[in-house]
Amino acid sequence: MDKLADLAKINSELMLMNELESLSKLDITKSGIDLKSQKIEVEHQLKEVEAACILDYMKESDNITDLFQRVTSCDQILGRLENILCKFQADLGNICQEIISLHEQTVSLNRQLKNKQAIRSKLGQFIEDMTIPQPVIQHIMYTPASEKNFSDHLVILDQKIHFFKEQDFKDAMSCNDVNQTLFGLKTKAIFKVREYVLRKIHDCRKYLSNYQVPQNALLKNRFFYQFLLSHERDKAREIQNEYIETMSKVYHGYFKEYIHRLCKLEYDEKPDENDLMASDDQHNRSRTNIIFNTRPSSLKNRSTVFTMGTRSSVIKLDLEAPLIMPGSAVKDIKYTLEAIFRTVHYALLDNACREYPFLRDFFMTVSEKQTQDFFNMVFAKTLSLIHSHFSEQFKNSYDTIAIFLCLHLVYRYREMARKKKILILDSYWDSMVKCLYPRLEKLVQMQITSVKNCDCEKLSSADTMPHSVTRRYAEFASAISSINDTYPDERISTLLGELQDEVKNFILRTAAIFRQPKEQQIFMINNYDHILSVFKRSDIREDSKDTEEIKLQLGKRIQEIVEELLYPHFGSIICFVKDCEVFLERDDQESLKRNEKKLGTLIDTFNDGWQRALDEISKDVMSCFSNFENGNNIQQAAIAQLLQYHMRFQKIMGHSTLKDNPNKNKLIGLHELMVYVKRYKTNF
């Protein structure tokens, strides 16, 4: 090994020398050294080195031989080792192929296992779906359709039939095994279901039966109709037609009988074309036992044609009250048109709100339109019957209050139906409105015409108390307005405005019959005050147009009556004040001076008679006005006006032209006057 190292060292040195030789040649060339001599010297040195190397090699020959043998031995060992490794590599390659093969086999087996499991599951499910269990056969064949076990197993049978149809479409051979059994069960089930449903439908036809009970039973077993619809459409259509025809007759018969019996409970004596606002009192007095109280023999709470009374309860407390039952009604109780209208339409609304969802749920309608079509087929005759009956009633009715209440019943029931999403009745409600409103308008126009064309002298009552026409108008207008405010209708407001204008004209015409202006003013004030009092008692808004107009008219008349009350007692001083104010405004000193001589007489007259005059005015006011509160207000207005004249009189006397008049200090003071008039202040 040392020799090899030396050889390697020598080899490296030779290479280095070659490099140095190359470099030295370059250097020698550059330096001009003799190359021959240099070459000979180098060759000599090389020979010496070569000889030394050979000598060294000869000395190490044994070691080199030994090294050669060792290398040869190692080479043989490595060769054998290479053979072993190559063989091992080949074995490993074979093992890898076996692993891949085993993996493929495993995947294949796993796939086969899954396929077998899937097939087993599907086949088991197929067998289960195709097989008809014995309990299904027993219950379908022998259990009544009304029992729950039948309906439960009917669902299973329905599933079997659907599965059979799917497999038969795929030409499954196993269908032949169950075809006959399944067909027999289906036929039996269809027969029992049809019989059950028809029996329940026919139960609705029984007289006085509660058809809600069979309806609830049908709704509970709505799958029966679904079964027929899936497997025997002709039978399902038969059921559908039978139900529609039956319920159409049931509802029509029920409402026809109900309306007929209710009509017997309606008042025999009703308002007629002579019951007008400006009709003769004698005619009305013959009818004041009227109509609208549930106790005709009672004199309490009797309403007139124009008074609402308790009738508004039909659209308030009694809107959803129990139906009127003719068979259980107390003897001698009579009902108004609006009460009968309410109970019929509340029954209609109740039945419609129950029937509409039943048709949708039981017959499983696919659209809202289909449900509406079914509903129209069921209720068409009934709606036509009700509409025709009440249209005829309205056409012959002169009861304006009843017509108006019926109109608002329609508004409220329409709103209730919409809240319950029964929009199918909208067209019916609209038709009722179209029937009611023209009649209402005609009746109100009749009242307007009666007031407009009446003979005031024939109707005049020779006193200044509120006129009967005014009383009727006040009650009528307050009744209509208070309800109209809940569902504002500008058309109604316009009609009431026309009626009010005619009543105002009537009051003016009637007042003109009185000869004295004071009586005219008293008559107008009493009438306007009565109207306003009735309005206040009702639910009319204080800021309504009708109320504001009456307040305005009343205020004007009160201002006029105050002058009429003061003038007989204080006319001279009032005329003096007004004349002097005109003179002062024109700066007419001469005219003012000429009137100065009246001061003494005026002051003496006022001082002597003002207390007596106020007492007479107070008695006059309290005896002339029907409403004491209104009379007190007029009295206070008269006193306030007198105090105003007193202050204006003092102001005139304070003018430079009259300030030196010796009588000016004789006038009673304002303070003393105000202390005295406090006794007339009354709290109502």
d(CA 470, CA 573): 37
d(CA 482, CA 43): 148
CATH match of 560-680 with 1.20.1280: yes
Give 266's strand partners: 335
If you write DSSP's letter for every residue of 513-554 in order, what string do you get? TSSSHHHHHHHHHHHHHHHHHHHHHTT--TTSHHHHHHHHHH
d(CA 593, CA 597): 8
Q: Where are the domains of the chain?
A: 2-59, 134-231, 263-336+380-547, 560-680
Greater model confidence, 422 or 598: 422
Token reading at 324:
């009127």
Long-range contact pairs involving 584-587 (C-beta distance under 8 Å, separation at least 24): 584/652, 584/655
Token reading at 205:
């036809």
Greater model confidence, 301 or 46: 46
pLDDT of residue 286: 46
pLDDT per position as a tens digit, 69-122: 888 889 889 888 888 888 888 888 888 888 888 888 888 888 888 888 777 776
Reduced to 3 states (helix: H, G, I; strand: E, B; else coil), residue 335 is: strand
What b/e string do you get for 594-632 counting C-beta neighbours within 10 Å, with b at 16 or more? ebeebbeebbeebeeebeebbeebbebbeebbbbeebbb
- Tell me: pLDDT of 295 over 60: no
- Tokens 């002097």 locate to 580
In terms of Cα–Cα distance, which of 445, 340, 342, 454 is closest to 398?
Answer: 445
Backbone φ and ψ for 232, nearest 5 degrees, come out as -155, 80
Token reading at 181:
């059994």
pLDDT of residue 34: 65
Token reading at 362:
């039981």
pLDDT-derived band at 564, boundaries 50, 70, 90: confident
pLDDT per position as a tens digit, 25-71: 555 555 555 667 777 888 888 888 888 888 888 888 888 888 888 88
- Residue 419 CB-density burial (10 A; 0-12 exposed, 13-18 middle, 19+ buried): exposed
Share of the chain above pLDDT 90, in %: 31
pTM: 0.74
Determine the Cα angle at 468 with ends 462 and 471, to 5°: 135
As a whole number, mean pLDDT of residues 137-142 equals: 86
pLDDT of residue 156: 85
Which of 137-146, 295-304, 427-436 ranks highest by mean pLDDT? 427-436
Start-end of H helices in 131-147: 134-142
- Evaluate whether 476 touches 447 at the Cβ level (below 8 Å): yes
Residue 365: CB atoms within 10 A of its CB come to 16
- Tell me: pLDDT of 417 over 70: yes
In terms of Cα–Cα distance, which of 340, 451, 444 is closest to 400?
Answer: 444
- What mean pLDDT is reported for the chain? 83
**HEC profile for 374-399?**
HHHHHHHHHHHHHHHHHHHHHHCCCC
d(CA 163, CA 681): 98
Residue 553: CB atoms within 10 A of its CB come to 20
pLDDT of residue 47: 82
Greater model confidence, 178 or 594: 594
- Evaluate whether 485 touches 541 at the Cβ level (below 8 Å): yes
